[in-house]
Structure 1
C-alpha cells in the first residue's frame, strides 16, 4: 500500500512539473509544415540580387595609385571588423548585403588605415570626421524595409546554450508581431517579446533540453499569420544538439575584483627596490628621466602613471584575501605581473618570468592555493600585441640587426636605431617604448601561446587579453590561442579588452567575453549620472543584449571603472583624490553598483571603488593611487558587501536571462530569472515616481524589508528596488 501511494505521489509530482513547463518531453517527431494558407518568409534565401529579402547589395571599390598587397573594408556595418576585398584587374572590390540606412566606412590598406577617404573614394555619399584627424566615408543605402526577420542558428545571438537550456531568438522591426511560436520537431513553444528599442525587438524562447531539433517560426503579424522558414529547398532550421560554445558556468555566479598590484597592498618591503632595476628608463636612449620609489602615502608625481613605484606585491594581496572574501569576491583579475619596465606592466620583458618586485613563484603559488581555498579564482593579464624595449628578443634585434634570429619578431623600419625611437620600428600607437610583435610569425605565435598555457598550467583560472584589436592577424591568432587553451583547460575563462559593442569577437572561436565598457560606461554610467532617462537607457540596453548570445551575456565581464578610466565615484561627480565625496554622488554610486550586481554576468569592481575612493585619470592617473587602508567610507563598503549577499541569496540574479518590463521618466524596470520571478526597478532622478506592477504580489527584498506590493509601486528617487514574485 505504501509503495502504491508513493508511486501515485511521484506520478502526480511529475505531471505537475510537466504542466508547469519545468520539464519538457524529449519526444522527437518528423516536422511538417501546417496545412492552410500561410504566406512564407524565407529569411536565408537570396533573391536575384544575391541578398536576403529586405537587404540591398552595395558594392565598394578602391583603385590604388600604386601596387598594394591587401585591402579590407571596415565600417559601422561590421563593427569595424575586417572584410577582405578582391583584386579585379587593379581595382579592389567587395559587395555587402545591407539593410537600408546610413553607414560609415574606411579602407584598410597593407595594414594601415586610409586617413582621408574623400581622397580615394569619390562614390561615397558624404564624408565625416573620424575623430583622429581624418575622414570616414558615408554610404546611404536606400530601399523598402518591409517585414524583415533576422535569425541565424550559427550566431549565438540567435541560438545558444545558456544555463544548460537551448535559447532561440529572432529579431524583427518593432510593433509588427502580435504573437510568435517556435514549431520544432520536439514540440511547439510560445515565444515572448524579450527586448526592444527604436528600430527593433527580440522574441525569445527557451527549451529546457539540449538535443537535435528542426524548427521554424509561426508568427501572427498585424497583417495575419506567416511562417518564417529557412529556404524553399530546406525550409527548416536545424540544430544538431552540439554545444560548440560552452558557457563557463562559474563566471555568471561570480563577483570580480581588479587588482593593480603595485598599488594594492605592500606585504614585503624587501622587494620594493627591485622595481627600479628593470625600469624602461634605464633602456630608453631618448630619455634622461629616472624612475622613483615612493612610500605608500607619498604624493603623486608626474611619473605616477608609469614610473613611480609604491611596493605593492603578491604577499600584500595574500594579506587581503580574507578582506576580499568578506566582500564576496570570487574572481580576481590581476594587472600584469610579469617582468616589465613600468608600474603598469604592459611593456613585458619576458612573458614566462614573474617580476621579482612582486615576489617569487613560490609566493604566487601560495597566493593561488590560498585563493582557491576561499573559493576565489584568479585570471592574469596577457599582452600579445607588443613587448617592452627591455625584452630579450628586442634587445638582440637592436644589437645585431638582421643577424639577429629575432629580426622578424618585430617590424623594424630602420636599423641601427636607438631604443625608444618609435620612428625606427612599429610600436603600439606609435610609442617607442612598446615595439609591436609580429604575431603572424610562427615563432612569435608559439612563444606567446606557450606563455599563456604555461601560466594556466601553473594554476591560473583564466586570461584577460590586452589590446586584441591591434594584432595584425587577430582572428587567426586568437582562434589558435582559444583552441590551445580550451583543449588543456576547458573551464578557463578568456576575456578580450574590447571597449565597444562588437559581437564578432564572441562567436565561439575567440573569446568568452569582452571587457564590457560598452555596458558599464556607455550605458549604465550615463544613466546613473542622469544623462539619459529610463526609456532611452532601456533602448540602449536592448541593442546591447540583442547583439550577444545569452551564453556570452552570462559570462559578461561587467565593469564601469578600471586602471584605464577615472574612478566611478569621480565620474559621478564625487570629486578628485583627497576630496570628500558629495552625498548625491554616493547615492548615484549605490544606484549604479546595484544595477551592475543585478544584471546578467559578473560585476567587476576596480580596487578601492568599494571603499568610496576618488581619482581622476587626467590628473597623472590619480585613480591608480595606492589604496590607503586606513581610509574608508563604511557606508559604501557595507553597501558592496550587501550586494554580494543579495546575489548569492537570489539565484535568479545569476541566471543568463533578462527580459524588459517598462520605463517611465527616470525609471527603468526589467525581469530576472527564467520564470521572470525577480523584478528590478531603478530611478535615476531625485523625485519619487510611481509605475504599475505586473500581475500578482511582489515582495521587496532590496533594500531590506518585507513589504508586499500589488498593482502599483512608488520608486524612491535615486534608488533601486528588487522585488520577488510571491
Structure 2
C-alpha cells in the first residue's frame, strides 16, 4: 500500500457541500493500488454526547471508484447530515487485504479503538456553511454560447466604418490591422440567425472604445467604440437579445489598459507627479521603451505590461483607487444595460483580493451573474465560490483536440486527462466551465481538422456531452476556416453559396439535443471508457459512441433509441463517426 499516494484535503474539491445538508467526499489513491475504500462518517459530537447511539465508526459506507487518470484512482461518496456537521475518516483496503484508516491525525490501525472513539481524530466539516458553498447558476447550465468578434460579424451601418474599411470578404486572409466594418447594427440585424441556430447566449469580444480592431487595448471603458455604434444601440441589442431568450456576456480587460487611455497618457505627460502614477507598475520615470519592427513587442519597457506589449500597461489592482475605478465600470454595464455575464481577460494575472471584491459586489446587484475567467492552467484557486463561476476550459478542450485531431493522446490518455481535469474541481464547478473548440485565440476547428467535416461534427458531439457549457465561434456553424490570429478572424460568411449547410443542420441538431437534456449534462452521472476501438461516454441513460480509430466498428444499438448520429450505417460506425443513444431500461 503506497501511503504517500493516499490524499485527501478538507474544504476543497475533495470535501464540499452539494446542497444545504449534503456533502461530497473524495479520496485519491495510487492507480490500481487499493481494492476498496469505505468512509466512516457522522456527527462528531455524537461520540462524546450520545452514548445511546451506535458509533458511526461501526457503520462504514463503501465509496465508489469514479475515475482514474495516469497516476491516481478517485473515490467518491455523497453523505448527508441532519446536524449540518460531519466528522469522517477512510477505511482503506489494498489488493492484499491489508487495511488502514486515514484520519485527520494521519494513518491509524484499523483496530485502534481509542483513536476511533476520539472525536478529534476525524476530518471535519465543522458546520455546513451554506454561504460558502460553490453555487452553480441554473441558466448558465442551459446555455449554448455564440462568440462574436464584433469587427468581423456583420456590417450593418456603413456610416460608422473606420477609414480604410475593406469590402466584406469571407474568404480573405485578413492582416492584423485590417478593418471590415463589423458593428452592433450588424449583430442586431442578424439576431434571428442566432435564434434559428438555437444558441441562447452571446459572448462579445471587447466592444469598448479602443484604437485596434480587436479592442483589447481599452481607451475608454464607459463608451462603446464608435466603429461599432453607441450605448443606445448597444442597449437595443441587449433588449432585443433578451426578448429572444439570449443572454449577453461582455469581455472585460481589467489586467491592463490601452496606452491611448487618458489615464496612461497622464502618466506619460506628468511622470511621478501624475495622480495616476501608482495605478500602474512603473519601475522608474519617465516611462519609456524602444520600439521594434513588431508593433506589439518591446523588450525594455520600464513598466509592467501584458506579455511584451508596450501598448498595454498593466494596472495595479492592489491600489484601492484602481479597484474602485474598475468595479464601478463592471457594475455600470450591469445596472445600466442589464448584461448577464463578464468574461475576464488575463484573469490569472490579477490579485485574488480584487476578484473577491468583484464577485461580492456583482453578486449584490445580480445574484445569478456569471463570472468567467480566462485562465489557461489549473484554476482551483479561483473556483472556490468567492471569485469566478467558471473559467475558459482550455486544458479540457485542448485534450479533446490532442486526441481527435493531433493524435498526441490515445484513447486511454484522453480519458485519463479528462478525468484528471474533472477531479480538480467540484461537480457544480465543472458544470459552469466554458468549452470552446475554437475562438479568436486559436485556429478554426475546420482548419485544424484539415477540412474533415465528419471529424468536426464528431468533436462537437463529444464536447456537447461533456460537463460545462459549449461555445460556438461565429461562422463555425457554416464551416469557416482560419489559421491563428489574424486569419481566424475573417469576416463572417453570409453568402449562401459559401456556407456549409450540412454543418449548419448538424449544429442545430446538437443544440436541440443539448437543450433537451440540459439537466442531465449539468447534474447527471458521468462515466466514460473505451470499447472495441471506440470511445464511449455515458450521462445517466444517454450514451455516445465515437469511433476515433482507423477502422470501422460494429455496434449493436438495436435496443437503444438513436438520438443523433453521423457515419453510422446499418450497425457499423465508420471512422470519424458517432452515434448517441438513449438507453432503454
Distance 1:218 1:158 in 2: 16
In structure 2, the partner of 1:373 is 243
Are 1:271 and 2:160 counterparts? Answer: yes
In structure 1, the partner of 2:146 is 257
In structure 1, the partner of 2:55 is none
Size of the alignment, in residue pairs? 541
In structure 1, the partner of 2:442 is 565
Check 1:179–1:424 CA distance in 2 against 1; reply closer, same or farther (3 A cut). Answer: closer
Task: Map 1:299-310; keep pairs closer than 5 Å.
Answer: 304-305=175-176, 307-310=177-180
TM-score by length of 1: 0.69
In structure 1, the partner of 2:165 is 293
Distance 1:340 1:566 in 2: 24
Distance 2:226 2:378 in 1: 37
1:221 to 69, 85, 94: 94
Are 1:323 and 2:193 counterparts? Answer: yes
1:241 to 128, 142, 149: 128
1:196 to 68, 74, 93: 68
Check 1:298–1:664 CA distance in 2 against 1; reply closer, same or farther (3 A cut). Answer: closer
Kept in 2, the 8 Å contact 1:168–1:205? The answer is yes
Kept in 1, the 8 Å contact 2:400–2:459? The answer is no
Check 1:315–1:301 CA distance in 2 against 1; reply closer, same or farther (3 A cut). Answer: same
In structure 2, the partner of 1:155 is 12
Distance 1:432 1:705 in 2: 50
Deviations 1:538-570 (A, max 9, x none): 111111111111111010101121101110111
Task: Map 1:287-436; keep pairs closer than 5 Å.
Answer: 292-297=164-169, 304-305=175-176, 307-413=177-283, 415-416=285-286, 422=298, 423-436=301-314
Kept in 2, the 8 Å contact 1:611–1:632? The answer is yes
Check 1:167–1:697 CA distance in 2 against 1; reply closer, same or farther (3 A cut). Answer: farther
Kept in 1, the 8 Å contact 2:205–2:251? The answer is yes
Tell me by how many angstroms 1:463 deviates.
0.6
Are 1:614 and 2:476 counterparts? Answer: no
In structure 1, the partner of 2:508 is 641
Tell me by how many angstroms 1:210 deviates.
9.2
Tell me by how many angstroms 1:499 deviates.
1.4
Check 1:425–1:706 CA distance in 2 against 1; reply closer, same or farther (3 A cut). Answer: closer
Tell me by how many angstroms 1:442 deviates.
1.4
Tell me by how many angstroms 1:212 deviates.
1.6
Kept in 2, the 8 Å contact 1:385–1:467? The answer is yes
Tell me by how many angstroms 1:598 deviates.
0.7
1:173 to 15, 22, 30: 30
In structure 2, the partner of 1:625 is 490
Check 1:146–1:299 CA distance in 2 against 1; reply closer, same or farther (3 A cut). Answer: closer
SS of structure 1 residue aligned to 2:223: coil
Check 1:718–1:705 CA distance in 2 against 1; reply closer, same or farther (3 A cut). Answer: closer
SS of structure 2 residue aligned to 1:430: coil
In structure 2, the partner of 1:146 is 3
Kept in 2, the 8 Å contact 1:312–1:358? The answer is yes
Check 1:269–1:514 CA distance in 2 against 1; reply closer, same or farther (3 A cut). Answer: same
Tell me by how many angstroms 1:256 deviates.
0.9
In structure 2, the partner of 1:98 is none
In structure 2, the partner of 1:438 is 316
Kept in 2, the 8 Å contact 1:398–1:419? The answer is no
Kept in 1, the 8 Å contact 2:2–2:30? The answer is no
Distance 2:526 2:339 in 1: 34
Which of structures 1 and 2 has the larger relative contact order (alpha carbons within 8 angstroms, sep 6+)? Answer: 2
Distance 2:141 2:14 in 1: 17
In structure 2, the partner of 1:501 is 378
SS of structure 2 residue aligned to 1:153: coil
Distance 1:419 1:190 in 2: 63
Are 1:671 and 2:522 counterparts? Answer: no
In structure 2, the partner of 1:542 is 419
RMSD: 3.0
Deviations 1:80-103 (A, max 9, x none): xxxxxxxxxxxxxxxxxxxxxxxx
